[in-house]
Amino acid sequence: MNAYNIDIKPKKHLLDINFKEIWFYRDLLYMFIKRSIITVYKQTILGPLWFIVQPLMTTAMYILVFGRIAQLSTDGLPQILFYMSGIVIWNYFSESFTTTAHTFNQNAQIFGKVYFPRLIMPLAEILSGLIKFFIQFSLFIAIYLYFYFSGNTSIQPNWTLALVPVYIGLMALIGLAAGLIFSSLTTKYRDLNHLLTFGVQLLMYATPVIYPVSTIPEKYKIFIQANPLTPILEGFKYAFLGAGHFSWDALGYSGGFTAVLLFFGLIIFHQTERSFIDTV
Amino acid sequence: MSQPIIKIENLSKLYRLGEVGTGTLSHDLNRWWKTKVLRREDPYTKIGSVNDRTQAAQKGEHVWALRDINLELQEGDVLGIIGKNGAGKSTLLKLLSQVTSPTTGRIRARGRMASLLEVGTGFHPEMTGRENIYMNGTIMGMRKKEITSKLDEIVEFSGIAKYLDTPVKRYSSGMTVRLGFAIAAHLEPEILVVDEVLAVGDAEFQKKAIGKMQDVSKSHGRTVLFVSHNMAAVKALCKSGMVLVNGSQRFEGNINDAIDFYQENNALVLAENNHWEFGNNAENDNIRVTSIKITPLNGTTLDISSGVQIEIDFYNKIKDITEDLTFEIVTKEDILVFHHGVVFAKDRDSKLGKHKITAVIPPDVLNANTYSMNLIFGQSQRYVLFSKERICAFEVENVAIGNNMSVMPGVVRPNITYTVNRNDQK
């Protein structure tokens, strides 16, 4: 007689993620990713083209408003590349953050009826976001290559291109961690939902997406650099464009911050998933 | 006897009533301060309040939706869980399905456990039937290749072959349910937990669904926990039964006995001439209720304006205590009309032997309806000596208002006096 494999008890440990179980449910992860990709643009004319239209339009708008009207510096780089690189990676973060932040509230219906490792849901959001990111990223690369081969000397790609996957990973994980915390807290305190949308917007202006760090007056620099997203944005742009700033210290700071945030995110998510259906 | 496949020990679940979501930060801080820092009892938990829906909830009060459930099931057992609405059936299913976690106690089980609290969980209206089969199947813990190998069976069982590549939003509700059930039926878990999902769908489909569940339990030796109000379905499917009343486990055993127990506890005990003799059916160590007689106070028919006289004959077996009798009148819709206590032995002067209490419900109180009576004998208005719910039931006839023969809505129908002052101006 084999032992009991299901054991339902009131108190679990602070953090025990059952990776084996998540692995067992990998097909579900795949299905959720598929669902979020194929359902978003069903019954639309442009379909997946919307993935590309959105960053293109945003870039055009930024060039007009920040580049032409406000005349913000881009460190001498072609504006389209400067803005687009910022938008593409920032979008991935904000997408990951906002979609995972709705994990509990938007899936209460499913969570109330059937059990599966709840972490599957935010993971699926992060991964489907990654697919969207790569579509937009390819667009950026295409434009980038056009500029590069047409002999634009201001672009100086360098060895830190090897770190690009790290930047993308960090963006995903910070988005995930912040989203986990948000989604857990919003099950009880709905106020946070109101904060979320404009909070992300404000955060974007506190992060060097549309301006380079070099334009920040010395006395404010410390605030911008305290933002753990800054080294990622700067590093990403530096790798492709060669302007800006790269340092291991800053990257280490971002990495450490991500690890701590993720640790707390997982704990609070884990604590919430056990009983949120009673409070939602 | 082998080790049980499911073992439930002292399972309880506490819920908080009233508003949840406002002022919770201060509540949470208060609770955290009192319990974790001062190590006091949780100020928001009143231990002992049973889940009795007839009492109005106080704001912030906690109730036990389930209390001390113990259960063991062997492989191949099919258990029916029956009880009124709010008895805790759904809570038990939610705990079994791991949708929420218990307050105390433990559930252990062997093998794969699938729960059907609803069919078609995770169906997305924009996706096709085929896509949704994979979506729903994986949500319930199936592997993709497992679904692929059973796809034909599922499609055949649900009878939607023609619409397999049509978005589910174009399906009729019956088709959606059939598809959902078909997927669930092909899960092949060791333990299947089924809620009243069979209540949907047409009669033919229900028959098919019950047949499938019988097949699963009998020929495959799977364990099934089935919750339903449909006694015929429970009887057809289950071998054993459990009756839940207000969150507690009141009966467990053979399914026929369980159904009898449930129906006895919910049946209207009507009697000719409104006269009940109990023999020794209403007796314990403290009290024996011998008979109850309900008559109109005025006239010959028990109607709204006749008033109701209730005579309760009982034999008291304890002397020298303070004793009281409380009776409750409940409508057939389970609404408590009133709860009234009579102290028949003050200051510890109760006597042994026969007693008769005659109580009168004045005219123009009860509306036309069928009522049941609960009797509770108590000591010092604190301890219960004897209680019997729905000991008897009686009907109050309607009295027409003018030419209007219909029964007025409402629980009570008082005779309201009024004056009209009109200031007619020309």
Residue B96 lies in a domain: yes
Domains of chain A, residue spans: 22-34+46-279
Indicate whether B307 and B193 sit together in one domain: no
Contacts of B109 in chain A (CB under 8 A): 4-6
The chain B residue lying nearest A4, using CA atoms, is: B110
Name the phi and psi angles at B424, rounded to 5. Answer: -70, 125
Q: Indicate whether B47 belongs to any domain.
A: no
Q: What is the DSSP string of A53-105?
A: HHHHHHHHHHIIIIIIIS----TTS-HHHHHHHHHHHHHHHHHHHHHHHTHHH
| CA B183 – CA B225 distance, rounded (Å) | 18
Cα separations in angstroms, B299 against A270, B135, B295, B302: 68, 68, 9, 8
Secondary element (H or E) of residue B8: strand B6-16
- A28 with B20: Cβ contact below 8 A: no
**B255, part of any domain:** yes
> CATH number for the domain including B250?
3.40.50.300
* Domain final residue, candidates B247, B264, B281: B264
Residue B22, in any domain of the structure: no
Tokens linked to B384: 């219960």
pLDDT digits (tens, 9 = 90+) for B46-100: 444 444 444 444 445 677 888 889 988 888 888 999 887 678 888 888 888 888 8
Q: What is the pLDDT of residue A178?
A: 93
| B415 in any annotated domain | no
As given in the structure block, the two tokens for residue A49 are 């083209």
Which single residue is written with the structure tokens 């009290």? B287
Q: Decide: residue A22, CB within 10 A, 0-12 exposed, 13-18 middle, 19+ buried.
A: middle
DSSP helix/strand/coil, A205:
helix
Do B164 and B205 lie in one domain? The reply is yes
pLDDT(A124) > 90? yes
Q: Test A10 with B7 for CB contact under 8 angstroms.
A: no
Q: Residue A259 pLDDT more than 90? A: yes
- By CB neighbour count within 10 A (0-12 exposed, 13-18 middle, 19+ buried), where does B292 fall? buried
From the list B21, B94, B106, the residue facing A9 with the nearest CB is B106
- Neighbouring-strand partners of residue B191: B113, B223
Same domain for B116 and B192?
yes
What is the length of chain A?
A: 280
A226 touches B: beta carbon within 8 Å: no
Q: What's the total number of domains in chain B? A: 2
Supply the pLDDT for residue B20: 46
DSSP B59: T
Same domain for B114 and B132 = yes
Question: Above pLDDT 90, what percent of chain A?
Answer: 34
Residues contacting A147, CB < 8 A, separation 6+: A78, A81, A155
Contact B102, B13 (CB under 8 A): yes
Residue B13 lies in a domain: no
- Residue B332 belongs to what H/E stretch? none
Chain B contacts of A10, Cβ < 8 Å?
A: 101-105
**Chain segment A156-201, per-residue pLDDT in tens:** 888 888 899 999 999 999 999 999 999 888 887 777 888 888 899 8
How far apart CA A183 and CA A280 sit, in angstroms, is 11
Q: Are B374 and B330 in contact (CB under 8 A)?
A: yes
- In chain B, the residue whose alpha carbon lies closest to the alpha carbon of A22 is B141
Do residues B256 and B278 share a domain? no
Do B230 and B347 belong together in one domain? Answer: no
pLDDT of residue B22: 45
Residues B302, B250 within the same domain: no
pLDDT value, residue B54:
42
A259 near B CB under 8 A: no
CA dist A188 and B317 (Å) reads 53
| Cβ contact B122–A9 (<8 Å) | no
The answer to whether B304 and B366 are in contact (CB under 8 A) is: yes
Q: How close, in Å, is residue A90 to chain B by CA atoms?
A: 29
Residue B203 belongs to a domain: yes
Higher pLDDT, B119 or A235: A235
Q: Which of A39, A43, A110 sits opposite B121 (nearest CB)?
A: A110
Beta carbons of B122 and A112 less than 8 Å apart: no
Q: What is the pLDDT of residue B326?
A: 92
Q: Which of B203, B231, B264 is the last residue of a domain?
A: B264
Please indicate, yes or no, whether residues B180 and B239 belong to a single structural domain of this protein.
yes
Query: Domain residues for B183?
Result: 72-264
- pLDDT per residue over A78-95, tens digit each? 888 889 999 999 999 999
At residue A104 the predicted structure's pLDDT band, cuts being 50, 70 and 90, is confident
Query: Block means of pLDDT (10 residues each) for chain B, length 426 residues?
Result: 83 70 62 68 50 45 83 88 81 86 88 80 88 91 90 89 90 86 83 74 74 79 83 82 86 86 74 84 88 91 91 92 91 84 89 93 91 90 84 88 81 90 79
According to DSSP, residue A188 is labeled T
Residues of A in contact with B143 (CB under 8 A): 27
Within 8 A by CB and 6+ apart from B20, the residues are A279
- Residue of chain A whose alpha carbon sits nearest to that of B193: A114
With beta carbons less than 8 A apart as the criterion, state whether A78 and A147 touch: yes
Do B307 and B326 belong to one domain? yes
* Predicted pLDDT at B60: 52
Kindly state whether residues B131 and B196 are assigned to the same domain: yes
Helix/strand/coil for A34:
helix
Where among B264, B294, B313 does a domain terminate? B264
Q: Pick from B28, B106, B127: which is nearest to A8 by CB?
A: B106
Distance CA A200, CA A206 (A): 10
For B288-299, the DSSP string reads EEEEEEEEESSS
In a domain, B58, yes or no: no
Q: Is B201 left (phi over 0), alpha (psi -120 to 50) or beta?
A: left
Task: Tell me what pLDDT residue B219 has.
Answer: 78
Interface contact flag, B139 A278, Cβ < 8 Å = no
Say yes or no: B283 and B389 in one domain. yes
